[in-house]
Chains A and B, each alone.
Chain A
Amino acid sequence: MSSTLKSRRPNIIVEILLVAVLIAVTAPIAWATLLAFLPNRAIVSSKWEFPFWVGNYTDIFSGGTLFLQLLNSVGIVVGTVFLCLAIGSVSGYSLAKLAPPNWVRLPALALAGVIPLIPPATLVPGLYVLLDTMGLLGTVPGLVLVNSLFNLPFAVLLMSSYFSSLPNELREAALVDGAHEMRTFWLIMLPLVRPGLAATGVFVGIMAWNEFLMGLTLTSGGETAPITVGIAGFLQQYAVTWGQLAAAGTIAAIPMILLAVFANRHIVAGLTAGSVKG
């Protein structure tokens, strides 16, 4: 931190401007949360009245579809995080510490560099055919694979940068003591990059939870879709009320905001990971 030399006196204008910014950031979220707890007549009325109501939530869950979509999303997040952490840590460790030969290292780096640049929509036609032939179209495992594809490059590079920061002597000492390479990785190196696992896992989890395009195009909607597609479905039905829409939105948003509040450090580490490599 850079606050050591300068005496830190609050500058009133800076503090007031920041309060204004924080209002601009939170007001839209607060507005949606407020609507989620209002009956429709209070929302469309031109007067300001706020009778507290939870009917929106019971309404949107009454069909049972939204709950299944919620479960699908949880399944996609768990599967994607697991796959990305498993491959990300093993392959990231190889890149950082095992000096793999160039014939495999260079293709790996090229894939990790190019995949994040490709707009997912351009891969939809190809992924559609691929999942169709694999029989995974419209399934949670299919979406786990697709989500992992878009998050793996990030996971491998981030885990690799965490492993790089560990001293080489650690691994060499363990090997001299007779530990096998895999044991060294599992028992000594991996436990030391727990912050990296947390940052990678939290970030990949958020991305998988928020993903929409693949859920939309690679499922047939309804009970096979993730929650984001379910919410989008509400947006396109005219029979749905504003309060129900808002309620559906909060179900997807509130868990992420809680994560942002309590796992802030890990999210910041994930979001800024690119700036180190520039």
Chain B
Amino acid sequence: MSASSGALGTTRARRRPGSNTARTAVIALAPFVVFCLALGALPFARVVQMGLSKVDLGATGFSFDWIGIGNFQAVLANKDAWEALGNTAVFIIATMLGSIITGLVLALLVNRAVLMLPVARNVLIWPAVIAPVVVSLIWLLILSPTAGGLNKVLENLGLPGQTWLNSGHGAMLSLIALDIWHWTPVVFLFIYTALQSISEELLEAARMDGASEGQILRRVTLPLLAPAIGAVAVVRVVMGVKVFDEMYLLTSGGPNGATTLVSQRIQLWFFQDLNYGEAAAFSILVVAITIAILLLALFTRSRMAGRS
């Protein structure tokens, strides 16, 4: 396909002045396309092949026997898959809402700050540059029932120690809190940047008209921030689908699968159960669901934009 259209592109370009530019443009863009096809599309095609085959790992490497949609049926009938999807949905909704509310409040605070402004703008992004592995470790040092800092504080206050990581709901809530602490900086930066582009004249005009600060926030600031909040919500959803490290390290997906999200499920099936076919089939389902949700979000946004 690319060969024939490539020849067409060059003949067409040769007649025009600037034919060099068209050729240079293709040559310059080619590394990116070739790299992504080789390292992205090729492995993905392999995942699709695995998803549609009975996969065996022999002495000579992988062998594939075509079995059609058998793996997909097996995944859909497996309650572990549904548990992972359910946990992921809970995790995504909670961390998205939590970090957007926290990030919005922080952005409004920093926008009003004077003395703390330089320090806050620098320090507030620190959690976002630390590796998820290290963030998990830091929170283990706080939450661990035996040596965690939190229990030391509770004990000193004469309160009973917590064992949140050992109960299903406690573990999920701990991971949600950790994720909000870790990634609110990204939300804060998105909203703060948008906040700074709102013209002060507009807010001043609203004040002249007698609007209270609360009214200005509801009627002027928040509607103007809506596109940035929508964009960062999409970013947070994608981050939630990808999350892996924290559960792997802090809870191993437990207790009893209570914090097993889709990435854990895939990794467990592939590397622990050596169930390559179902791991691949589930991968494809997850990608399909993610893209469907994002298209729905895009569709809703364009409809809302069309109405206003």
Interface residue ranges, A against B (CB under 8 Å): 1-6, 8-11, 14-15, 17-19, 21-22, 24-26, 28-29, 31-32, 35, 43-44, 46, 48, 86-88, 90-91, 93-95, 98-101, 103-105, 107-108, 111-112, 114-127, 129-130, 132-133, 145-146, 148-149, 152-153, 156, 181-182, 206, 209-210, 212-213, 216-217, 228, 231-232, 235, 242, 245-246, 248-249, 252-253, 256-257, 259-261, 264, 267-268, 271-272, 274-275, 278
Contacts and interface: CB of A to CB of B under 8 A. Distances in A.
A117 B290 contact: yes
Given A14-B113, A101-B22, A125-B276, A271 B128 contact: yes
B266 A124 contact: yes
B147 A242 contact: yes
A170 to B, nearest CB: 15
Given A2-B200, A126-B46, A25 B231 contact: no
A5 B280 CA distance: 58
A98 to B, nearest CB: 4
B120 A123 contact: no
Contacts of A19: 116
Contacts of A26: 123, 126
B304 interface: no
B104 interface: no
Contacts of A5: 200-201, 204
A256 to B, nearest CB: 4
Nearest to A1: B196
Given A14-B109, A101-B26, A210 B123 contact: no
A130 B43 contact: yes
A129 B155 contact: no
Given A5-B201, A90-B31, A115-B36, A32 B287 contact: no
A266 to B, nearest CB: 11
B2 interface: yes
Given A100-B29, A108-B29, A235 B46 contact: no
B287 A118 contact: yes
Interface of B: 2, 5-6, 9, 20-22, 24-26, 28-33, 35-37, 39-47, 50, 61-62, 106, 109-116, 119-134, 136-142, 144, 146-147, 149, 152, 155-156, 181, 185-186, 189-190, 193-194, 196, 198-201, 204, 227-228, 230-232, 235, 238, 241-242, 244-245, 248-249, 262-263, 266-267, 270-271, 276, 279-280, 283-284, 286-287, 290-291, 294
A276 B22 CA distance: 28
A91 B126 contact: no
B129 A267 contact: yes
Considering the complex of A and B, which 7 residue pairs feature the smallest CB-CB distances, nearest first? A126-B43, A122-B283, A98-B25, A210-B131, A94-B28, A91-B32, A121-B263
A25 B189 contact: no
A119 B140 CA distance: 25
Contacts of A101: 9, 22, 25-26
Contact of B25 (A9, A15, A17, A94): A94
A14 B122 contact: no
Given A101-B26, A121-B244, A256-B131, 19 more contacts: A1-B196, A21-B109, A44-B147, A91-B28, A91-B33, A98-B24, A98-B28, A111-B36, A115-B40, A119-B290, A122-B286, A123-B44, A126-B43, A126-B50, A152-B36, A249-B141, A253-B130, A257-B130, A271-B186
Given A111-B36, A121-B266, A246-B141, A252 B112 contact: no
10 contacts: A2-B200, A21-B109, A32-B141, A124-B270, A210-B132, A249-B134, A249-B141, A253-B131, A268-B125, A278-B231
A114 B270 CA distance: 23
Chain A contact residues: helix, strand, loop or mixed: helix
B35 A149 contact: yes
B209 to A, nearest CB: 16
Contact of B44 (A9, A10, A126, A210): A126
Contacts of A217: 267, 271
Contacts of A156: 32
